[in-house]
Structure 1
């Protein structure tokens, strides 16, 4: 009953009279400030989380979970001896040899450099990842009789070719550069500009013929059962293979990128958190003005027997109402913005700079709850001084106040 009365009075004080429209406006602005701060935090955190997650998926999808290179150079005999040793290690899903090189692609009057990647055309991971992004042709064309190449969408646009056309690949290394005509078996879109403008896939056999590797391979790509445990698998491989081999996992090879993103997320969250802190000060200023405006009513309450704790609770409840309303509207607004962006992708970004062509957003339940609760807590803290000021009033002097 007591708490109900305090809550009713708190709501009544927020519903101002016609002569108190300024206080009403400040109250709405305070609530809006809290909502804006919470929404900004949710959206920015969702952008950074979404970008990191999408980048990780793309990097892990297009690259190996763990890569193994021989420090002495190419791995002879397709790496068959070391592959057998690697497959005995627990947690490893698949090991495939790859060939890497640089080539010049030419078609008509256009030409462009590309990173050649020789792969096993029967590799299910390759067929799944690249196959999902095919916009023309088929990933399985690498296994056909005609020498075929798969190129990214940006590279195809630069060369002016499409699936079914022919391009000439030239290896400008050595006294006699190697050159061969290939069928464009397909065009893929990975969603990452760097991949789509740079990579060209060949079958291992065709890449070996073009690069003149005589059965040797550049590296071994390893897929693990759990990508989060890739560093542990890589450490085991280092111990098993010895010092003549370089072993790197996807986290280690992209450590700088993800460290920078994590730092950027923390700094932006801290800066935007200042909006909520400023909004909390606005709540304090609003309640101070309410105390001044309601001095007479506070005096009457105290004269009727209201205790100091009761007066403090009334203004604490007011702050919680403003904070809760702002946090609720802010959370709803932030989630709505994320939903609209993910659905309609109205915010476009240059893919040649940020790798993706639209801004990915991934709101998290935990972070949304933390930001909302933190905003409400700050608003409650903002009520401490105004509520203390109201509770220490002398009822006689307060009633006499005009």
Structure 2
């Protein structure tokens, strides 16, 4: 503790000129650490937003049957629940690709058919509904559909508007001839999934309506499953594949966008290393400030050595002084970074900072992880410690007679 006290006294008793150098070193370290905090929080938030988006739309696990579709949902659900632990909800689904035609514009869409009675146990569609309410029935003889925000903006759709979906279908007697079928829908609501690719192509409606469109009455291609603990998804997938046989395959929420999630992990590491350069540059300022302090403390070093202070004792004092400067900068940087994260969230509510066409999502929920903060503080202090060793050693090697020569 005595060395810490001496280091603090050396720091607060700096000459006016060297105080400015020390202050700038602290500010530089604070800016570097703040940049790291913001960068890691934004990348972690981006990863978390992607994860929530995928789980809300796909569930934890998708089970699909190859070949003839599934017919008896109740028996299928009971079979899975009996053999697979931790199942929170199961819902059947059927999807098909089609063309949305409205106001002389055409767009390829994916029509998702969901079961209104069970979809709420697996998917969080309610959280993404920004207009309308979930009325899955028929209005004035026309089935209700919920469109993505991108489709709604492109076609200027309003609640109650009617649009058409064209389903390509071949003639059974002539495979080269198409016999497209048309299904009319009424807009029942607008969904904002937070991902541009989903919002611009997704159309959700009642499972019965899609079964009718696909001429698959009472049948479905697969189920979506939500578990009580997402950590058991991989194990559950193996159990289900063994249980159902080779005609079924599974895909977890991670596999749906595996390449994207892997890219985010690598980007996080690269961004951390790049922004860390700012902290390394700031550490040189700390080293310079400490060197000036050593040169100005020759008399004090001589006095300490004349009273029996060893080289290691002097080295410890100046190393602690450098760590105090770096620690103050790191703490200020964390506080500044947290404030910047709050400002980023506030700015997102006013200005469209994230182009959805580029990053797949149009907003980011900043996520501050204790592991990231601990890593940032630890690495920053380690860099500070390494940068102050050279000037601290110079002070430790000073002879007592040199420090007292001009006294």
The normalised TM-score by structure 1 is 0.90
How far is 1:124 from its partner? 4.6
Looking at structure 1, the residues matched to 164 and 5 of structure 2 have their Cα atoms a distance apart, in angstroms, of 84
How far is 1:33 from its partner? 2.2
Looking at structure 1, the residues matched to 246 and 184 of structure 2 have their Cα atoms a distance apart, in angstroms, of 40
Deviations 1:153-202 (A, max 9, x none): 21022222211111112102223211122221222222221121111112
Residue of structure 1 aligned with 2:281, choices 278, 281, 302:
278
Looking at structure 1, the residues matched to 85 and 222 of structure 2 have their Cα atoms a distance apart, in angstroms, of 20
How far is 1:128 from its partner? 6.8
How far is 1:350 from its partner? 0.2
Alignment pair present for 1:30 and 2:25: yes
Looking at structure 2, the residues matched to 164 and 271 of structure 1 have their Cα atoms a distance apart, in angstroms, of 51
Q: Where does 1:71-150 land on structure 2 (aligned, <5 Å)?
A: 71-72=66-67, 74-77=68-71, 79=73, 81-88=75-82, 89-125=84-120, 129-142=124-137, 146-150=142-146
Contact 1:52-1:258 within 8 A present in 2 as well: yes
Residue of structure 1 aligned with 2:264, choices 261, 266, 269:
261
- In the superposition, relative to structure 1, how do residues 12 and 352 fare at CA in structure 2: closer, same or farther (>3 Å)? closer
Contact 1:142-1:185 within 8 A present in 2 as well: no
> Which is worse superposed, 181-190 or 3-12?
3-12
Residue of structure 2 aligned with 1:196, choices 195, 199, 207:
199
**Runs of 5+ unmatched residues, structure 1:** none
Report the secondary structure of 2:353's partner residue.
coil
Contact 2:93-2:207 within 8 A present in 1 as well: yes
- In the superposition, relative to structure 1, how do residues 360 and 135 fare at CA in structure 2: closer, same or farther (>3 Å)? closer
**Runs of 5+ unmatched residues, structure 2:** 172-178
Residue of structure 2 aligned with 1:293, choices 292, 296, 300:
296
Looking at structure 2, the residues matched to 4 and 365 of structure 1 have their Cα atoms a distance apart, in angstroms, of 27
Report the secondary structure of 2:95's partner residue.
strand
Residue 225 of structure 1 corresponds to 228
Contact 2:96-2:111 within 8 A present in 1 as well: yes
Q: Where does 1:273-352 land on structure 2 (aligned, <5 Å)?
A: 273-345=276-348, 348-352=353-357
Residue of structure 1 aligned with 2:167, choices 168, 171, 179:
171
Looking at structure 2, the residues matched to 162 and 212 of structure 1 have their Cα atoms a distance apart, in angstroms, of 29
- In the superposition, relative to structure 1, how do residues 106 and 298 fare at CA in structure 2: closer, same or farther (>3 Å)? same
The normalised TM-score by structure 2 is 0.89
Report the secondary structure of 1:164's partner residue.
coil
Report the secondary structure of 2:354's partner residue.
coil
CA RMSD of aligned residues (A): 2.5
Deviations 1:376-400 (A, max 9, x none): 2332333322222112212223333
Residue 176 of structure 2 corresponds to none
> Which is worse superposed, 1-10 or 46-55?
1-10
Deviations 1:311-370 (A, max 9, x none): 223312211220111011101011111122223426711012212223431112332133
